[in-house]
Amino acid sequence: MASENSLYSRSIFEQIKAVHKQNYGDVDLGVIETLFKDVDELFSGKRKGFQRCDTKYHDLRHTLQVVPPFIGIIDGWNKGGNSPRITREYFEIGIAAVLLHDTGYIKISGDTGGTGGKYTFVHIHRSADFAEHYLSHIGFEKNKIQSVRNIIMCTGVKVDIDGLPFESVEERIIGYALGTPDLLGQMSAPDYLEKLYALFHEFNEAYHYEGKEKLKEAGITIFQSAEDLIRNTPAFYEVIVRERFEHMGSVYACLSRPPGNSRNPYTEAVEENINKIKKAFSARPATS
């Protein structure tokens, strides 16, 4: 019997296949299929030289949660007649970046200290490095690999996206279309509030691994507890995330929708989660 995760992975792949067909015709998805298989093997510990993903927040399901809003934005961008139109080549580059953007949490064989959570504040660069190594191994051209690196960097809320060496406007749009869904996918999840406890454990491990004083000097906020993180999540969304969305061109507004439907299910779900957090914590006294 297929596991829940395998069924979810298959569902996500079928969504990619449908959007790919609508935008580029019924063509070969060989590269995307290879990426899907290899990333699944990586996170499940079946890839030589790497351990099974042991982070509870940034797991394979988190990675796959980014896919639907990403392909929805690309689909809506193209169908809306926006320029430049996203080509099949860049769509596939984008899918590669989506699937590889959190591989920096995976530990190599022999890394026995703690979990991949210790890499929280360096995982983006580690993900880009892994992507470069892996994609070169499966035959990606150097220019495409650099594109994937640039696009992955858009997932860092503290990364200066204006300073990234994008090769084209199309590449920049793909970067925005990943940076935005990376936040939308996780913050709109039905279990977002519950998962924030797991996120704090990853943060806390990284605080000790990197050193709190070093992180403070780098401008990293140090949360004292899971409750402290959750209590501050509405401000994170309203001050940082919304500004980030706007800085990335508000591409979430391009999300494809059924005719006559102006609702954005992701932004609505995020707002619901934020309101749930406010309601749950407004009556509680702050604790450390």
Mean pLDDT in residue range 37-44: 96
287 found inside a domain = no
Please state, rounded to an integer, the average pLDDT across all residues of the chain.
Answer: 94
288 found inside a domain = no
Q: Which of 81-95, 104-118, 248-262 bottoms out in mean pLDDT, i.e. has the lowest?
A: 248-262
Is residue 271 a contact partner of residue 242, using CB atoms and an 8 Å limit? no
Residue 108 CA to residue 129 CA, distance in Å, equals 13
In sequence order, the 6+-apart residues with CB closer than 8 A to the CB of 266 are 69, 181, 184, 185, 188, 252, 255
Residue 171 CA to residue 229 CA, distance in Å, equals 33
Per-residue model confidence (pLDDT) at position 45: 96
167 found inside a domain = yes
With CA atoms as reference, report the closest residue to 183 among 251, 93, 92.
Answer: 251
Q: How many domains, in total, are found in the chain?
A: 1
Per-residue model confidence (pLDDT) at position 27: 78
Look at residue 2 and tell me whether its pLDDT is greater than 70.
Answer: no
214 found inside a domain = yes
250 found inside a domain = yes
With CA atoms as reference, report the closest residue to 127 among 111, 109, 110, 151.
Answer: 151
Domain assignment of residue 35, given as a range: 4-281
55 found inside a domain = yes
28 found inside a domain = yes
Mean pLDDT in residue range 272-285: 84
Alpha-carbon separation of residue 212 from 26, 74, 157, 205, 215 (angstroms):
51, 39, 19, 10, 5
286 found inside a domain = no
For residue 29, the SS3 value is coil
Look at residue 9 and tell me whether its pLDDT is greater than 50.
Answer: yes
| pTM for the whole structure | 0.94
Q: What is the domain-level CATH number for residue 150?
A: 1.10.1300.10
Residue 75 CA to residue 164 CA, distance in Å, equals 24
